[in-house]
Amino acid sequence: MTLVDPHGRRINYLRLSVTDRCNLRCRYCMPAEGRVKVGHGDILSYEELLRVARAAVAIGVEKIRVTGGEPLVRRGIIDFLRRLAAIPGLRRLVLTTNGVMLPEMAVPLRDAGVESLNISLDSLRPETFAAITRGGDLRQVLAGIAAAESAGFRFIKINVVVMRGVNDDELEEFAALTLDRPYRVRFIEYMPTLAEPGWEATVMPGAEILARLSRRFAMTDEASENLAGPARYQRIAGAAGLVGVITPVSCHFCGDCNRIRVTSTGIAKSCLFDCGTVDLRPVLAGGDDAALRDALCRVVAEKPDRHQLTEGGGEKGRIDMDRIGG
Ligand code: SAM
Ligand code: SF4
Ligand code: SF4
Q: Phi and psi for 146 in degrees, rounded to 5?
A: -65, -40
Probe residue for ligand 1, chosen from 18, 20, 26 as the CB with the greatest number of ligand atoms within 8 Å: 26
Distances (CA, A) of 277 to 14, 50, 186: 14, 20, 29
| Residue nearest atom 2 in ligand 3 by C-alpha distance | 271
* 147 in a structural domain: yes
CATH number at residue 279: 3.20.20.70
Q: Of 155-164, 234-243, 265-274, give the lowest mean pLDDT range.
A: 265-274
Q: Return d(Cα 190, Cα 196) in angstroms, integer.
A: 12
Q: How far is the CA of 204 from the centre of ligand 2 (A)?
A: 20
Count: domains in the chain: 1
* 1 in a structural domain: no
DSSP 8-class letter at 181: S
* 114 in a structural domain: yes
Q: Return d(Cα 262, Cα 16) in angstroms, integer.
A: 5
Element (H, E) at 132: helix 126-133
Probe residue for ligand 3, chosen from 273, 302, 316 as the CB with the greatest number of ligand atoms within 8 Å: 273
The average confidence (pLDDT) of the chain is 91
Q: Return d(Cα 184, Cα 159) in angstroms, integer.
A: 8
* 184 in a structural domain: no
Distance of CA 269 to the CA centre of its chain: 14
* 186 in a structural domain: no
- The verdict on the CB of residue 26 being under 6 Å from ligand 2 is yes
Write out pLDDT tens, residues 194-247: 777 888 899 999 999 999 999 999 999 998 766 667 788 999 999 999 999 998
Distances (CA, A) of 310 to 103, 200, 231, 278: 39, 9, 19, 26
* 319 in a structural domain: yes
Q: Phi and psi for 34 in degrees, rounded to 5?
A: 75, -165
Write out pLDDT tens, residues 63-120: 999 999 999 999 999 999 999 999 999 999 999 999 999 999 999 999 999 999 999 9
Task: With a cut of 80, say whether residue 144 has pLDDT above it.
Answer: yes
Residue numbers of the domain that contains 127: 13-158+256-324
* 204 in a structural domain: no
Q: Return d(Cα 39, Cα 10) in angstroms, integer.
A: 35
Q: Return d(Cα 219, Cα 213) in angstroms, integer.
A: 8
Q: How far is the CA of 17 from the centre of ligand 3 (A)?
A: 17
* 111 in a structural domain: yes
Q: How far is the CA of 218 from the centre of ligand 2 (A)?
A: 33
